[in-house]
Structure formats: structure tokens, C-alpha cells
Structure 1
């Protein structure tokens, strides 16, 4: 096992735990994008998860692992997390399915549609502060004072292993994949997918895509330690937030498995969101469109390659989509 704590065996254990809760999502070839880039462009449709995003995999795996290890009674005080939305939805959904109370702390920046979605799944929402880090301080208080159990959004090997089941599916559905392009913020998604892909097919390139502003992982990788950055509003709001001051696993893991790292502008994200809606008839949030945005904005030469883009989630409101269309000039 590597020092970041995620090995292939953990990924297969995660797959066993999440079966029946998180779905095995389709990997579809995009005819229009394949023609545009003279490549095989494959779309991994995490938008098909019951909660609309990949986060369900990690939340279910961590909760199921905790119940296996400690028994359900140990979680009677409930589970708690901080989230920009999709992880909160995943925890609320997984907890209700597994019969455990859940509380989600959100910053005031999180859009109202995401708050409503968490509450609809039976999770209790508490809004605190103007950043992920402030919301996380409230989580720490609830853990120490009320004995709640933290379900971290990304920085835990059990969460990472859950997201890594996407990598297992990619390798089974397309064993000769040349490159996978993954949105990157906290590193749970890219770290998990990268751990799977590099263990099975080391030649496959893992490309991370961060926002051009407010990208904590980008700054942290450059500095060699966790760096806090100011959060800014973005179409790719799911890629905002810090990586945690005492990041234990994802910073190391991302450094180990990622081959290249690109940043994308708001305009590129907007154009990619509109493209995916118009060409693929799929509604995706900004964070799910960054793979296409990166190919376009950086002119990535993918000719003749098999490339998987992770369409990570569909939590987008019509007003955000209107903003994207205006910015893309469409």
C-alpha cells in the first residue's frame, strides 16, 4: 500500500459496499466530440447517480465501513459534514438509506437549490459563515460537543476509495484508455480514479483540471503543503473550497497519480456547459464540464486517443445555466 492509504484492495472493498446504493454509471462515446477532436471521447455519466453526482460513492462507502467497523449504535448521535452541496446531498441520502441521522453545515455561498436538495433527502442543514473552512469549524464543534461522527468531503481513504470505484469501472469498460480528465478541488475524485487507473494501466494519463481562481489544490501542490485561498464565485462552484489545513491523504495522493494539471477560465467552463447541453442533451454543472473546457482552452492534442471525461454532477440551476449561456455568448 502507498503512504496515502489507498490500494486496489480498498477499491474492490468499496465496490462491494456501495453495490445497490450507488449505481455503476454508463461510459458513453460522444459522436460529436469524437468528430470534433479526431479522437474517441468517452463520457462517464456520474450524473446518473441517484443524487445526481459521484459523491454518493464515497459517502456510502465511508458510512458502510463505519457501520462494519463499529456497529450502527456508534453512530446514534448522527453523522455530520461540511459541503458545497453534492457531498451534503450524498451524505443525507446515504445516511437516510442506512438509518443514521445526518447534519450538513454549509457556507452562505452555497446556492439555494443545493440547500433545498439536501433538506429534501432528510438531512438537517445549518448555514455558517462565508467559506467552507468556517462551515468546517462548526462541524468540528459538533463532533467534540455532541459526539457526532465526521464524514469528510474528500480527505479520508474510505471516501477516496468510494470515488475510486469510478476508476475500476473505466478500466473494465475501456481497458485501453489513453487519458482520463478529472475536475480537481479537494482531490477525492481525482485521487481515487488515479489510484485505480495507475494500479491497472500505468500508461493512462491522469489530467486534473482546476478553476483559474480560488484553486486551493493548485496552490498547495506548488507550495508543497496545504495553502488556504480565498473562495470566489464560479460556475464551477463544486470545485471551490480548501483542501484542509491538515490535509492527510489527498494532497500526497494527487501528487502521486496526476500526470498534468490545467486551469480553466469561467468563459471556457460556460462554453463547455452549453456544448454538453446542446450536443449531448445532458445538463451538467460547471465542475462537470471542466474536462471539455480544458481540451478546448488549452488546445490539448488528443488526436487518435481514447479519452474519458468525468461528467461529475448535474446540480445546476436554470439561473446558473442562463449565466453560462450569456458568458459563452450563446
Structure 2
């Protein structure tokens, strides 16, 4: 692969970065001394926790909303935008929409923690609770699009969303051009797909490793089946990795298959230990989904000795109660 991956080209990645300038943080990439010693490698941490909304999702949401304004004009978005989310995407859409003066509605299932719903509402979006799964929240989005003429902002399955997330990959290649591997949490595939498209276009030798939940991992089950499938959602410390990928997935399923080199599932105990380790050694409080890269390194003994490896700290939307659950799970 050279400059394209299932519709996500380098030109589109750089266009996304231009749209994000001044609205999204170019996050730092730093070396972890503790983790580098532990794994006998150069372990680099990409701090998406430092975005204004605390997570990488702001990139995709900002890119898509900005592109829609460019292409369709403000009148086309007068009815507002609507999305479904497990938390971080909803907060990103709320933030980006408010910054651009666009009304926004965010549909959440009852599984989404209340602190995430509150954070969305604080940014000016209308929060709608519906059903017990992400699929039911998506159905509400479709209803509002059909009945009210709202514009949908998908959480992952759109080239504009993917290109926004892929700007992380551009930054990785600028800050660590000799990177050997990047380890990314895998759910809907927007983050891994975007990063993978960017790094593979610039440095094809970079290994892209995906990490999923041990249970309720829709993308992992879909890849195994060779087609998008539905799975039952389960509670997890890494709750933002839950949810389906859409049975009519048109972008990220194929993209992940193209750019991902290997994949691992991690247990709740491994996620808990990684969350606690990152707090203890890096002094950062991260959500479970942000800790799965470290969890995979520890639980599966990935061979990284002597390599430069980037872990994506994707977000910090975690409550103290969740941290307490993580500590209790591992007895620390």
C-alpha cells in the first residue's frame, strides 16, 4: 500500500489535519522510562488524553463537521446533527458542534456511565437515553434522521471520521519516523483504521497491532467470521470498546482487515492492572480502553525487545469508582 487504504488517502489525511488546526491539540509523544525498562524496548506514549475533551474522538468529529460545513453549507445542517455513542464520541460531537454553532443530539444506551452522559450535556448537546445496547441507540439516530432531517455523525464508519483519527498516525510518523509497532485499541475500527492508513502509507514496515476485549468484541468476531456480525454487549472496564460495528459496515471493517497486522484480546484483570500501572508509574488516570495496549504487552508477552513501540492513550473518561473496581479486581 502506498497512498490509500479503502478510500482514506494521504491527501485526505492531510486535509483533515488542516481542518483540525487550531481546534484540536497536536498531542505529545513521550518515552516511558518505567515501561521501557520493563519490556526492554523503547515504549512511547501518545497522549490523546490531553485533547480538550480528553479523548481522540475530537479529531474525527471535528473533521467531519468541518467538512460538511465546507461542502454543504450551514443551511444544510440547520436541523442539527445526531449521533450514537458510548461516551467519548458523543462528547466530541457536542464539543465540535458547539464550537461551530451547530445543534447536536447524542443518543446513548443505558449501559453508558452517567458521568459520560453528564460530560456530553455539559458541552451543550441534548442527551437522549434509549435502549440497552448501542444498536438501539443507532436505531434512534436513524429515526431522527428520517423524521427530523438531522444529519448523522457516525462514531467510526465514515472516511471523514477515519481521516480525522488518522491524523494521529501522521503525528506518530513525524515524531517517531523509525517506529516499529503501534498498539491500538480496537472497537469500531475508526482509530486503528485511521492510524493504520497513515502509518502504512508513510512507513509500510510499521506493525499495527489491535487489542480487543475478551468478550463482546464485535470487530474481532466480525473479522473471524469474515463479515460484520452482531455480538451481545457486556460490561467492561474498557466500556468504550463495546458496541457493534454495524451489519452494513461500509468502511472500517474492510480497512481494519487491510491495515492490521496482528490482534490480541485482553482480560478484565489485564486491563485493570494496566490502568493501575499507568496511574502508578506515569501519573495518568486513563479509561480502560486507553490501557489495553499495555494490557496486551503484559498479558500476551508480545515480542518487542529492542523495538520502538507506541501505545495510544486514547482517553481519560474514567470515574474514581471505575478505578476502585480495577484496583479491587487485582487486589491493589
Q: Which residue matches 1:157?
A: 159
Q: Which residue matches 1:280?
A: 282
What per-residue deviation string (whole Å, max 9, x for no partner) do you get for residues 74-100 of structure 1? 101000000000000000000000000
What is the rounded CA distance, in whole Å, between the counterparts of 2:21 and 2:135 in structure 1?
A: 32
What is the rounded CA distance, in whole Å, between the counterparts of 1:120 and 1:3 in structure 2?
A: 36
| Residue correspondences, number | 330
Q: How far off its partner does 1:224 sit?
A: 1.0
Q: Which residue matches 1:329?
A: 331
Q: CA RMSD in A?
A: 0.7
What is the rounded CA distance, in whole Å, between the counterparts of 1:294 and 1:69 in structure 2?
A: 41
SS in structure 1 of the partner of residue 6 of structure 2: coil
Q: Which residue matches 1:262?
A: 264
What per-residue deviation string (whole Å, max 9, x for no partner) do you get for residues 157-198 of structure 1? 000000000000000000000000000000000000000000
Aligned runs of 1:122-161 on 2, under 5 Å?
A: 122-161=124-163
What is the rounded CA distance, in whole Å, between the counterparts of 1:102 and 1:245 in structure 2?
A: 25
Q: Measured at CA, do residues 306 and 75 of structure 1 come closer, stay the same or move farther in structure 2, by a change above 3 Å?
A: same
Q: How far off its partner does 1:4 sit?
A: 1.9
What is the rounded CA distance, in whole Å, between the counterparts of 1:304 and 1:98 in structure 2?
A: 45
1:187 matched to 2:189: yes
What is the rounded CA distance, in whole Å, between the counterparts of 2:191 and 2:5 in structure 1?
A: 18
What is the rounded CA distance, in whole Å, between the counterparts of 1:209 and 1:7 in structure 2?
A: 24
Q: Which residue matches 1:90?
A: 92
What is the rounded CA distance, in whole Å, between the counterparts of 1:300 and 1:230 in structure 2?
A: 28
What is the rounded CA distance, in whole Å, between the counterparts of 2:109 and 2:246 in structure 1?
A: 15
Structure 2 unaligned segments of length 5 or more: list them: none
Aligned runs of 1:98-247 on 2, under 5 Å?
A: 98-247=100-249
What is the rounded CA distance, in whole Å, between the counterparts of 2:121 and 2:70 in structure 1?
A: 27
SS in structure 2 of the partner of residue 289 of structure 1: helix
8 Å Cα contact 2:130-2:137 kept in structure 1: yes
Structure 1 unaligned segments of length 5 or more: list them: none
Q: How far off its partner does 1:50 sit?
A: 0.1
Q: How far off its partner does 1:313 sit?
A: 0.0
What is the rounded CA distance, in whole Å, between the counterparts of 1:2 and 1:319 in structure 2?
A: 42
Q: How far off its partner does 1:246 sit?
A: 0.2
Normalised TM-score (structure 1)? 0.99
Normalised TM-score (structure 2)? 0.99
8 Å Cα contact 2:4-2:10 kept in structure 1: no
What is the rounded CA distance, in whole Å, between the counterparts of 2:6 and 2:99 in structure 1?
A: 29
Q: Which residue matches 1:45?
A: 47
Q: How far off its partner does 1:245 sit?
A: 1.2
| Structure 1 moving runs of 4+ over 4 Å | none
What is the rounded CA distance, in whole Å, between the counterparts of 2:150 and 2:330 in structure 1?
A: 44
What is the rounded CA distance, in whole Å, between the counterparts of 1:123 and 1:29 in structure 2?
A: 37
Q: Which residue matches 1:54?
A: 56
Q: How far off its partner does 1:201 sit?
A: 0.4
What is the rounded CA distance, in whole Å, between the counterparts of 1:301 and 1:191 in structure 2?
A: 23
